[in-house]
Amino acid sequence: MKSAVIVFPGSNCDRDLAVAFEAATGVKPAMIWHRDTDLPADIDLIGVPGGFSYGDYLRSGAMAARSPVMQAVAQAASRGAFVLGVCNGFQVLTESGLLPGALLRNAGGHFVCRDVPLTVENAQSAFTSRYAAGETIRYPVAHHDGNYFADDATLDRLEGEGRIALRYAENINGSARNIAGILNDTGNVLGMMPHPERVIEPAHGSTDGKRLFDGLVEGLLARA
Amino acid sequence: MKARIFVTLKGGVLDPQGKAIHHALEGLGFGGVNDVRAGKLIELDLADGTSDDDIDAMCRKLLANTVIENYRIEKVA
């Protein structure tokens, strides 16, 4: 099983995500610099990490979304590789068009950094198969631009197609319909603001995030 | 040739920055401000002969996120 984590200038959760991938897959992921144009052949799983790529210049994720490696990520996604974007990674995925909508400045104007309760909306996806629908889990969030926005038609489509993976149990940032994480139309790309990679070991205070990575690996093995 | 690109949030898109500026103006004692919306001005210094289509493409592909923003191009002689 081959995994990779994309590294942009200003990424700061790339190594945390790599630890989570390695714990779940048993193999160290390739760390791919944003100027690279190729991913390892037959890549199964790609992580787009949190952080502040390019210092959030222009818009959060805007510059990273146009970096050379993102074309390779889009190609891998189109042939079915799993892509997980966390926090800034979610912003990069919306900016690159791999996911719909956009992430605006938090409605309250404040950076929000704390553990938040989330409701698992769709437990059928490869990313959420180890959770139960309606289950409440807790992941940490740490973001300034996590206010999910899309027009009503897009939101209705996401709801209708079961593409809202996670919702905030309490609205912490103004997100439309409490959206914390969404899937693409083929279910192999997930973007989310909360950080599952920060809750994978008992020493983290919770292992709620571990099930996401374990479920992904299970899905990949079942597909192989 | 120069062009100025004005990028503004679409109507209905929340602008916490504009709100904060509004509060700060009120804090300074300025009454009568009904609303504040903040945007961006991007100045481009372009090779002569850059086409309008190219400038428009720059806006659509990078300078503005048309999911949430509008843009206006002003060419300066």
pLDDT per residue as tens digits for the range B25-61: 999 999 999 999 999 999 999 999 999 999 999 999 9
Chain B residues bordering chain A (beta-carbon distance below 8 Å):
13-17, 19-20, 61-63, 65, 67-68
Q: What are phi and psi of A136, to 5 degrees?
A: -100, 125
Angstroms from A76 CA to nearest CA on chain B: 21
Give the alpha-carbon dihedral of A1, A18, A33, A47, to 10 degrees.
70
Whether residues A104 and B61 touch (CB distance < 8 A) is answered with no
Neighbouring C-beta atoms of residue A35, cutoff 10 Å: 11
pLDDT at B77: 74
User: pTM value?
Assistant: 0.95
CATH (domain of A164): 3.40.50.880
Q: What is the average pLDDT score of chain A?
A: 96
B9 pLDDT higher than 90: yes
Interface test with B, best of A67, A93, A105, A175 (most B CBs within 10 A): A105
ipTM above 0.95, yes or no: no
What residues contact A160, with CB distance under 8 A and at least 6 apart? none
Give the alpha-carbon dihedral of A148, A151, A154, A160, to 10 degrees.
80
Minimum CA–CA partner of A95 in chain B: B65
Within an 8 Å CB–CB cutoff, is residue A133 touching chain B? no
Q: Which CATH class is domain B2-76?
A: alpha beta
Whether residues A107 and B20 touch (CB distance < 8 A) is answered with no
Whether residues A109 and B68 touch (CB distance < 8 A) is answered with no
Catalytic residue from among A87, A95, A121, A143:
A87
pLDDT per residue as tens digits for the range A170-197: 999 999 999 999 999 999 999 999 999 9
pLDDT at A222: 87
Structural domain of residue A199, as residue ranges? Answer: 3-223
Confidence of residue B12 (pLDDT cuts 50, 70, 90): confident
Q: What residue spans define the domains of chain B? A: 2-76
Residue A87 bears catalytic tag: yes
Confidence of residue A153 (pLDDT cuts 50, 70, 90): very high
The number of distinct structural domains making up chain A is: 1
